[in-house]
Structure 1
Amino acid sequence: MRFSTLNELKELCLTESLTMGRLMVLEQSLETGASEAAVMEQMTAYYGVMKEAVRKGIQEDTTSRSGLTGGDAKRVLTYFSDSGMPALGESACTAMAYALAVSEVNASMGRVIATPTAGSCGIIPGVFVSTQERFGWSDEHMVYGLFAAGAIGYVIANNSFVSGAEGGCQAEVGSAIGMAAGALTELRGGTPEQAVHAVGLALKNSLGLICDPVGGLVEIPCIVRNGFGSVTALAASDMALAGVRSVIPSDEVIDVMLEVGAAMPEKHRETAKGGLAQTPTGRKIMNQLYGKGGKAKE
């Protein structure tokens, strides 16, 4: 790729009068040797999987194999439908429900797209599918948005972490929030500079978030964090479009995420040895799932 930082990405977009999404299509084509049409076709297929995961999470049984999770997306939509007055408003409530839906599909062994990981797979679909429904955008428009998210994720992955085992949940859910926020800002007509500010604003709000899966499963608290993450992405996009800037440059925020993740204790990096996983209830669930000896029950 011709860029390694968000600032370089922004400058390329400005110099070549391209959106981040369109620039990334060109870069991906050059990198892989595939035609631009082939690159777009593949990403379109990925978006189809995301939309199907949303549908499945809303309409089908998503009870996980452990029995710990499932059905929360439906509960949120039912609450919204019955009350008609969620505190978040219709748009954010729908994005949250869709993010929960996709994450529940993942927990129930369904098919998802890792964005950037399976543990954070609900945030981008939740944001993208809900806003597409709201504004009536075409699939092609959304696919360019996915390429914009990919460009942001590329920078984060190469300068920090996207794995909870390496950098905590800030690396998984945090990265997904930043990717969604920046891409959504562009989809809504924001400039490359505003999109980059959205990334920094989003990432700053998730710095230090630990990875503490109860029972070592990508369920508790992972699923609800996807729901909250989708709402944070919407908020960061709104802030950026309103002219709010990330005073600490977004590339520096990414560097801080690396610093914080590297300093994070091992017990808070996807080991289930600390945090919520080691609360009395967390340990009780662990024993119910695996028995006192730590092995899975037959």
Structure 2
Amino acid sequence: MSFLFKDFTGWKAYCETQEQPLFEAVIAYEMQQKGRSRTEILQGMEAAYSVMRQAIHTGLTEDMTSVSKMINNGAKKVYNNKLSVLSPAFQKLIARALAAKEVNSCMGRVVAAPTAGASGILPGVFYTLQEEHELTDGQIAESMLIAAGVALIIEQKASLAGAVGGCQAETGSAAAMASAGIVHALGGDIDQVFNAVGITIQCMLGLVCDPVAGLVEVPCVVRNASASAIAFSSAQIALSGMDSIIPVDECLDAMHEVGQSMESRYKETALGGMAATATGMAISKRVLIQDIEMLSDE
């Protein structure tokens, strides 16, 4: 029997008992659940990562203008800006996260990790991590498996859906997944991996899901960029030996509680937050009329 990913405490205990790294428990789970071989699972991870890289390339080289016009090649503007506010690596991180998410907003091919609304975070983080530390695709595949394990537990203890838990459940979860992958790739131990997840959840707690016009564009795209930065911040903190203080399982209990108490207008309904601003409502009206006209033309 494989570990069923109900909580982080159990994941750690299982791996310590089995004397294996965290990602091996995820492989065992996938082998049992999907009936695939270890090789097939690792190849699947590398294939998914290839799609992520392609999404970044597409977003940085092709026209990324969405039907609503709210997305208009923002990633390229960031990537090509001669001014770096921190470092070239940070600039690339932000641009890549934006690029992959813009591909999603423009109906391109992405990996939902864990959702399409958060599809820019893992690509931006892992691509930049690989470049900066000269990691192999195999090492990134391990980090993706760690991220998958984190997502399995978040799904059990809280939620991965904006319609259920707000944007903390989407970009927050993706940032936690990415941060765990960073720590693993850079040699962190189990406690450091889990501290990174807990710290990230603390940073993202309470974030609402308020898509303008009901589209996963504004403010979703820029949140993919900021969540990517938080993932690296949390990883740096955890790898430096800082504790999350609140255990990661309790952080997820808090995430669940906040999501349950969040009003429905902040859960992907486009009735609150940015969607309810004067400009947000004007865009919604324009987009709706545009859609009706397109249907009439057909």
TM-score interval, normalised by the smaller of the two chains: over 0.9
Q: Determine whether 1:212 maps to 2:205.
A: no
* Matching residue of 2:126: 128
* Matching residue of 2:198: 200
Q: How does 1:215-230 map to 2 (within 5 A)?
A: 215-230=213-228
Q: Does the CA-based 8 Å contact 1:14-1:192 persist in structure 2?
A: no
Q: Does the CA-based 8 Å contact 2:60-2:76 persist in structure 1?
A: yes
Quote the Cα distance in structure 1 between the aligned partners of 2:30 and 2:111. 18
* Matching residue of 1:59: 61
Q: How does 1:57-136 map to 2 (within 5 A)?
A: 57-79=59-81, 82-83=82-83, 86-136=84-134
Q: 1:90 to 1:22 in 2, by over 3 A?
A: farther
In structure 2, what residue type is equivalent to 1:221?
P
Moved more, 61-70 or 108-117: 61-70
* Matching residue of 1:297: 293
Alpha-carbon offset, residue 67 of structure 1: 1.4
In structure 1, what residue type is equivalent to 2:35?
G
Match 1:8 to one of 7, 10, 21: 10
Taking structure 1 as the reference length, what is the TM-score of the superposition? 0.95
Aligned to 1:146, the other structure's residue is in SS state: helix
Quote the Cα distance in structure 2 between the aligned partners of 1:170 and 1:147. 21
Q: Does the CA-based 8 Å contact 2:143-2:180 persist in structure 1?
A: no
* Matching residue of 2:261: 263
RMSD of aligned alpha carbons: 1.3
Quote the Cα distance in structure 1 between the aligned partners of 2:6 and 2:176. 16
Displaced runs of 4 or more, over 4 A: none
* Matching residue of 1:240: 238
Quote the Cα distance in structure 2 between the aligned partners of 1:90 and 1:217. 31
Alpha-carbon offset, residue 16 of structure 1: 2.7
Match 1:176 to one of 157, 174, 177: 174
Q: Give the paired residue count.
A: 292
Alpha-carbon offset, residue 287 of structure 1: 1.1
Quote the Cα distance in structure 1 between the aligned partners of 2:87 and 2:22. 29
Quote the Cα distance in structure 2 between the aligned partners of 1:232 and 1:240. 12
Q: After superposition, give the CA deviation of every residue in 1:249-268 in whole Å (9 maximum; x if it has no partner).
A: 01101111111001101101
Quote the Cα distance in structure 2 between the aligned partners of 1:238 and 1:17. 26
* Matching residue of 2:24: 22
